[in-house]
Structure 1
């Protein structure tokens, strides 16, 4: 049985507890680390765990006997904790975003290679059966060449969202809606459509006057094969309706799950292709469902990768690719020009300090709560299925 130490006791902590504890005895949470010990103990008590509360992650790694560490702290701490855990004999699952800079991502990847320990980056949407099936269909080519991808990463957050101390500052949070929220969808874009060769973007802050960061971004992406993608992310859309559309030659494959297919009439106008829609749906349903979904799917994958000594599903390179896309959006917006990928190591947007120096600071950060009295997560209406 693998012993798991959770670092961070915020709103996502219970999801990680359930993910590892739900693996039919293959993993057990033995400790939770939080800045305030009462927060760690509360998480333990609420889940009914036989575990210990800690305030120092280094002591917890030494004392708990853990071999898996799950990192759920603010992004600016991910590299430090991940590298330390890897170097002290632990495999690591780290929440998204992977880190606030490509340099830190590379240091995490190097630590995993140097130690031989596993590094898995959380991108739980890949482990949802409808999304996994859609990925398989795109790979199969059944719908033809991918021509255009549309990503709507629409969220809603009130002004008080940025009252939490570490949010709303480039130095501690690492970025706004593009970095923290659209990371889910940008990961799927990189996974399902690949990496673009060029990015053109704009960002702004239209509603959150207590944050330095953007609450809205728009980007156009050009791919080496001539296809395009469009990314729109914001924190001002009521209803949080999120969607991904993959427009292929023969059909649209959409998330949340939907298919549409047309055949052209003699004059070029469309007529629904019901026969091909049935073929698509049959192919979709023929792909076996995932045994574990969401965070549980990643926990299962990490445990299996350790036991079978194989690569993880979402490794550091995959997490880094998502971050490179985000940094390309920021660089294009900050410099007001189209940006070519990949970004070089001597680019200012390779380091955290470079990003902070180059990005606009829209408003002065105000509000420095240590924690909310009640920190409830409300899922997007689409739920990505």
Structure 2
């Protein structure tokens, strides 16, 4: 029976708690921690976890609670410190996205994982969705041929009060805007599907949130060989219509699901009826795929516990979390410096180091309100 702790008891902690409660025979939540006095105990009561101890000092919880696995669901600026403390105490870690605001902090977390021998997993719950696992299976099948173009719309919408919470809307505490804290999911998916790009350029803007320092919109172009990917990161898109469209040499697939395969007529134009054989082959891959047993955070929690039990790497490990942060850092560098950025980023690059983004990033606006608790 795994002894589970959860640090940070805000809204996202509920997804972790629900995930662990789905496996009553495998784990037990024994401790919750939050720096806000009484908040951890209140969360335990809310979920009926009577046996869990509430801590107002997360580091004390790590030291005293005899944990096997801890979920870290705190603001991004605290992820590295808490993860390293847990790993060095011999506790496996599942840390919320983004892994950390800087590559330097990510590498410190990876070093702690290496010396501890424990599991470090970064939340990437969209890898545990059936529709996106289907897209991955089709890409891996090779039926698309070489990838020409990918369009990723990480489209969200947030009103002005969203940035009133004390840590949001600041480069220092949140680490960035929608590129880091919303599109990180889609960036992880892009890396999962296609691997690391070779070059990135981007533009940043704050179009609708005059109570926030950070961007609420960015558009990036990523170079792959032989094609390109376009990533829109946004919290200004009404309807939150998110889409991933992958164009290959032989066919196009997307989520929401759609598959099209063209074939050329004698003049090179699309022939009537397309290529039904390619479409049928792709749909065959989709039909043959076995649905996931668990989805979202619950699916990732199941994978992390399995990884601990069997001594294997998790599906979304620390290296995956770092790779996503590298893309974010490159987007910020490209947007701020108005340049093209080659990957990988070197350790002597200013955008690799902790704190350097805070010094270089533009303040689109100044934060106007700082609430301790988010409005309901």
**TM-score range with shorter-chain normalisation?**
over 0.9
The two structures, once aligned, show a CA RMSD in angstroms of: 1.2
What is the Cα deviation at residue 58 of structure 1? 1.8
> What residue number does 1:111 align with?
112
What is the Cα deviation at residue 24 of structure 1? 4.4
- After the TM superposition, which segments of 4 or more aligned residues of structure 1 sit over 4 Å from their partners? none
In structure 2, runs of 5+ residues without a counterpart are none
Equivalents in 2 of 1:147, 1:27: separation in Å? 45
> What residue number does 2:124 align with?
123
What is the Cα deviation at residue 233 of structure 1? 1.1
> What residue number does 1:351 align with?
353
- The alignment partner of 2:71 has SS state of strand
> What residue number does 2:292 align with?
290
Give the alignment's TM-score, normalised by structure 2.
0.96
**Deviates further, 267-276 or 316-325:** 267-276
**Deviates further, 269-278 or 136-145:** 269-278
> What residue number does 1:266 align with?
266
> 5 Å matches for 1:135-284?
135-223=136-224, 225-270=225-270, 271=272, 272-284=274-286
What is the Cα deviation at residue 85 of structure 1? 0.3
Task: Assess if the C-alpha contact under 8 Å between 2:2 and 2:28 holds in 1.
Answer: yes
Equivalents in 2 of 1:89, 1:276: separation in Å? 50
Task: Assess if the C-alpha contact under 8 Å between 2:62 and 2:85 holds in 1.
Answer: no
> What residue number does 1:33 align with?
33
- The question of 1:46 aligning with 2:51 is answered no
**Deviates further, 122-131 or 22-31:** 22-31
- The alignment partner of 1:262 has SS state of coil
What is the Cα deviation at residue 156 of structure 1? 0.4
Equivalents in 1 of 2:4, 2:165: separation in Å? 27
Task: Assess if the C-alpha contact under 8 Å between 2:151 and 2:229 holds in 1.
Answer: yes
Equivalents in 2 of 1:288, 1:243: separation in Å? 23
> 5 Å matches for 1:365-376?
365-374=367-376
Equivalents in 2 of 1:253, 1:363: separation in Å? 39
Equivalents in 1 of 2:24, 2:212: separation in Å? 43
In structure 1, runs of 5+ residues without a counterpart are 375-385
Equivalents in 1 of 2:375, 2:182: separation in Å? 22
For residues 116-150 of structure 1, what are the alpha-carbon distances to aligned partners after superposition, in whole Å with 9 as ceiling and x for unaligned?
A: 01100000000112211211221120121111111
